[in-house]
A = this chain, B = another copy of it.
Amino acid sequence: MPIKLYDLAGAKDDCRFSPPCWQVKMALKHKGLDVEEIPWRFTEKEAIAFSGQGKVPVLVDGDKTVVDSWEIVRYLETTYADRPSLFDGKMGESGALFIKFWCLQAINPIIFQIILPDLFEHLHSKDKAYFRESREKLLGVTLEEFAAPNDATIAALRTALSPLREVLERQPYLGGEQPYFADYIVFALFQWARAVSPIQLLSKDDLIYGWRDRLLDAFNGYARNASGYPV
């Protein structure tokens, strides 16, 4: 029985934009594990009630249910220790943990500002009221006030990505010669954008563009073949 993953979807079943779900999906590919990806919407709380909470990703592996992207990936690393490592040990895991929080502070909010109108457009109609209410409560402003899909925000994003770019000047991936889980954490944010928005976040001569391109091609083009805009 393959692993099951509840994966956030938009109006269309194949529109999969959740960054934490993309983190897990790339980690599953890295481990060479088959997965059944089950489309799920924000308001389908009953479908994942068995997990004891109301958010995806939810991973079901036989009789084991795991929630929270970080816990899922730690579960995969431990349970499938004989397969390619996502962390290469505790210090590798710690670096990825730092990069996760760096993304949450420095990158997520800027990409969210840029893609928000496009993202909202792609949501399932039954999710829109929930999305608006929950996000406006977190942000303290309306979605329309928060959104800023303009050149200045894109420039701010490119500046904020500087530490990633500096590393990529020295090696092809955050992990060195090969990607590790920290690569997938950042890459997941670009898949979030790509799934819903035609806005080009990176210039083609940016090292980060080339890095993203290699990850789009990884695992037989798994991420590139996902529904999205060819940006």
17 contacts between A and B (CB under 8 A): A88-B91, A89-B89, A89-B92, A90-B175, A90-B177, A91-B95, A91-B96, A94-B173, A94-B182, A95-B95, A95-B96, A97-B170, A98-B163, A98-B167, A101-B163, A104-B163, A106-B106
Which of A88, A164, A171 has the most B CB atoms < 10 Å from its CB?
Answer: A88
Chain A interface residue count: which class?
Answer: 20 to 34
A90 with B91: CB separation less than 8 A? no
Q: How far is the CA of A89 from the CA of B94 in the complex (A)?
A: 12
Could you give, for residues 74-112 of chain A, a 1 whenever the CB lies within 8 Å of some chain B CB and a 0 otherwise?
000000000000011111111111110110111000000
- The chain A residues found within 8 Å of chain B, CB to CB, are 87-99, 101-102, 104-106, 162-164, 166-167, 170-171, 173-177, 180, 182
Of A94, A102, A104, most B-chain CB atoms within 10 Å: A94
Interface of A (DSSP majority class) = helix
A173–B94 CA distance with the chains assembled, in angstroms: 9
Contacts of A182 in B (CB 8 A): 91, 94-95, 98
> Closest residue to A90 on the B side, CB-wise?
B176
